[in-house]
Amino acid sequence: MPRTIWSGAISFGLVTVPINVVSATEDHSIHFHQYHLEDMGRIRTRKVCEIEDREVAQAEIGKGYELTKTQVIPITDEELRDLPLPTAKAIEIEAFVPLESVDPIRIAEGYYLQPDGQVAAKPYKLLRQALERSSKVAVAKYAWSGRERLGLLRVREDAIVLHAMRWPDEIRDPAELLPPPVEVSEGEIEGALALMESMTREDLEGEEFRDSYTEAVAKIIESKREDKPLPEAPEPKEQGQVLDLMAALQESVRKAQASRGETADTADADVHDLEPKKKTAAKKTTTKKTPAKKTAATGQAKKASAAKKTAKKPAARRPRSA
């Protein structure tokens, strides 16, 4: 069982639920240490006092707030633990809201809330079933590690999960990152919808969602341990230049449906249902109108690209940069 991170209670109205907080996730990544390459001696970080110029033990280290360059205010763990906050010992529910009203960018890591003893069993189940039946989530405040935090409580199977949340002022405005204004045609939007439909699934299980990076690192470690040749890197996929966004979307639909065992005819039919005015990919270069601003050289490049489509198909993710 995972260790308890924090103990306290959930509080909403006059109802109190004693709980233990445990991590809801595990880290299966491969971690490395730093070594001196000449003799493989371990490189470690040592904590040195700048005034005494000596290494100090963990027992001698505490927290402090730098008021000025010459004045530091020491703060103890006990002082942080005993802050005069109602959230110091409880997860105080402030409101219940629809999950869709919460921007996912504000939701962070998750923790399971475990009922603490038999006395907590009934109020815990009451809160879980009320959340489930209402299809809402609870927004709460709690204090951990010297700061008050915002949290979201939701139901996962038979458990209540607490997600840490970021405060509104912790989310940066993306306005300055947006591209310059561009026009997107209705046909291109429908083509993107066709691609989304061909990639839609009911779950996130399968080979596509396996941690291939960790598995590849594990194979390198095993090969070096047994003095075997390192596994060969796969050949990179050849990516052609995308000159026609609609052609790239249609080709991506065909690739996605082919990966599911569907025939090319089915893929064509799906795309043509959404784009009734488009001809087949083989005729597109002769029927598609060239925009007025495009040069003759660009038109020739489009024809050359279409002629080579069967030999060099554009990668599915290239339309992003088209």
Contacts of 67 (CB under 8 A, 6+ apart): 73
Q: What token pair was written down for 2?
A: 């995972």
Average per-residue pLDDT for the chain: 78
Least confident of 24-28, 154-158, 263-267, 284-288: 284-288
Q: Is 198 exposed, middle or buried (0-12, 13-18, 19+ CB in 10 A)?
A: buried
Give me the pLDDT at residue 237, please: 62
Give me the pLDDT at residue 52, please: 94
Query: Looking at per-residue confidence, does 279 or 106 come out higher?
Result: 106
Residue 108 has pLDDT above 70, yes or no: yes
Q: What token pair was written down for 80?
A: 């942080």
Query: Looking at per-residue confidence, does 143 or 312 come out higher?
Result: 143
Nearest CA to 162 among 127, 120, 110? 110
Give me the pLDDT at residue 236, please: 65
Instruction: Give the pLDDT mean for 289-312.
Output: 43
Residue 308 has pLDDT above 60, yes or no: no
Give me the pLDDT at residue 276, please: 41
Most trustworthy range by pLDDT among 100-109, 266-275, 279-288: 100-109
CB 91 within 8 A of CB 11: yes
SS3 52: coil
Q: Strands (DSSP E) along the chain, which ranges?
A: 4-12, 15-23, 35-36, 41-42, 48-49, 54-55, 63-68, 71-75, 90-98, 107-115, 136-144, 147-156, 159-165
Q: Please tell me the distance from the alpha carbon of residue 61 to that of residue 70, in angstroms, as a whole number.
A: 18
Give me the pLDDT at residue 111, please: 94
Q: How confident is the model at residue 106 (pLDDT cuts 50, 70, 90)?
A: very high
SS3 209: helix
Residue 281 has pLDDT above 50, yes or no: no
Query: Looking at per-residue confidence, does 226 or 86 come out higher?
Result: 226
CA angle centred on 259, ends 256 and 260, rounded to 5°: 95
- Residue range 116-155, pLDDT digits in tens: 989 899 999 999 999 999 999 999 999 887 678 899 999 9
CA distances from 196 to 68, 79, 185, 272 (A): 55, 53, 17, 15
pTM given for the model: 0.60
CA distances from 283 to 187, 313, 322 (A): 17, 16, 21
Instruction: Give the pLDDT mean for 265-279.
Output: 43
Least confident of 39-48, 54-63, 179-188: 179-188
Q: How confident is the model at residue 302 (pLDDT cuts 50, 70, 90)?
A: very low
Residue 213 has pLDDT above 80, yes or no: no
Most trustworthy range by pLDDT among 113-127, 256-270, 294-308: 113-127
Instruction: Give the pLDDT mean for 164-185.
Output: 88
Q: What token pair was written down for 203?
A: 């779950």
Q: How confident is the model at residue 271 (pLDDT cuts 50, 70, 90)?
A: very low
